[in-house]
Amino acid sequence: MRRRAVASLLGCLLVASGCSAPPGTDAATGAIQRTLDSRADALLERDESGYLAAVDPTAGELLAAERRTYQNLADVPVRSWEYELRDVERSGARATVRAELRYRIAGYDTAPVTSSRTLELAERDGRWYVSADRPGEGGVQQLWQQGAVEVVHGRRSLILGVGQDNARLREIAAAADEAVPAVDEAWPGEWSGRVVVLVPESVTSMAALLGASAAGYRGIAAVTTGETGAKGSSPADRVIVNPDAYGVLGDFGRRIVLTHETTHVATRAATSQATPMWLSEGFSDWVAYRDGGGTDGHAAPELERSLRRGGLPAALPEDTEFAFDAEADELARAYEGGRLACELIAERWGERKLTDLYRAVGEHERREGAVEDAMNEVLSVTPDEFGALWRDYIRERLR
């Protein structure tokens, strides 16, 4: 259940489809746009032959891969699909294009998921065809490139799985449907009130969706992708489940994990680079445990062990203490410390003050001074004063 929010692949709100040509390109750019536009339109219209018509007919392997991709997407309720050209480099009848793929899921995404793509195209008889399509700089694999996507619709969730049996996906949908109202009760801010959960086949597949090494996620039950600090929009977050780690949890643990990650989805627009990890992760854990059980020896076992050994943390956890490569007990203490800090605020000042503090910190442009200003404004304390109260609270709460 050790997890943290992951930097995302997401972009700004789009209200119209179609590519936009980068400035300073030659006349071929318009033709390349038309090829990619027709490809996108065919996907939305469920026209397989039209989708494949954009592929170079001599590129046999790509043609087969794109046919699989189209079929893997068959049940996914895609609302929009488009390519925005960033750069076109042309050499005769060949061109290399750097573009952003942008798509939205119907009923869930108010902003598009974006993924960097590098496409190669070849001109034949005055028409451009896609001859290669791969992740661009910072781009990652998409779920439907891993296999056929099975779709389960919950009341307030959409579960997209690859290589999973239907019963497991329905169980995850049920847990996600419980998580959403729990988050609604704790977070008064506006958000979609719905969550999309991706369930890949393995931890290796999960890592491919995140563009990372599987080694860092083996003990992580789930993560949330998302763009922090997106003022004026609600980024299209995804909760990604590690089926291996999630599968060994009991019902209580699974509910905690999905409520924690759903809280990240709800608070994304209020989270920025100024938000410290102890607050973002601590708040998400506070919501998850808010109505789900006691603290003593259950939600904070590592801090309790430290307390029994006579040790208390000297200060609120630093961001580095939430790193995936940290020792398990150190990572647990960081999460527990953040959660108990939020619990202290909720008990001493009230839950509304806790959410007010979260927003006040996130509204700052940079980290420096953000917590200090927000604590002074919302709680009328300094960070040093709060740190002393927090240490006292841990001592009293866990003894």
Please say whether the beta carbons of 88 and 95 come within 8 A: yes
Q: Which residue has the tokens 């954009």?
A: 54
* Residue 36 phi, psi dihedral angles, 5° rounding: -70, -35
CATH 3.10.450.50 domain residues, the chain? 28-139
Q: How far apart are CA 295 and CA 137, in angstroms?
A: 43
Using alpha carbons, list the distances in angstroms from residue 319 to 282, 313, 316, 326. 12, 14, 10, 11
Per-residue pLDDT, 70 = 96
**pLDDT value of residue 219:** 85
pLDDT for the residue 48: 97
User: How are beta strands 113-124 and 127-135 bridged, if at all?
Assistant: antiparallel
Contact residues for 116 (Cβ-Cβ < 8 A; gap 6+)? 9, 98, 99, 100, 101, 135, 136, 137, 138, 139
| pTM attached to this predicted model | 0.88
- Looking at residue 329, its pLDDT comes to 85
pLDDT truncated to tens, each residue of the chain (399 aa)?
A: 334 333 332 222 222 334 444 544 577 999 999 999 999 999 999 999 999 999 999 999 999 999 999 999 999 999 999 999 999 999 999 999 999 999 999 999 888 888 899 999 999 988 999 999 999 988 889 999 999 999 999 999 999 999 999 999 999 999 999 999 999 999 998 898 999 999 999 999 999 999 888 888 888 999 998 654 444 445 578 999 999 999 999 999 999 999 999 999 999 999 999 999 999 999 999 999 998 655 444 568 888 888 888 788 889 999 999 987 778 888 899 999 999 999 999 999 999 999 999 999 999 989 999 999 999 999 999 999 999 999 999 988 887
Which residues are bridge partners to 232 per DSSP? none
**Among candidate residues 101, 183, 174, the one with its CA nearest the CA of residue 138:** 101
Q: Are 37 and 19 in contact (CB under 8 A)?
A: yes
Angstrom distance (rounded) from CA 39 to CA 21: 16
Nearest residue to 362 via CA among 345, 349, 376, 374? 374
CATH number of 28-139: 3.10.450.50
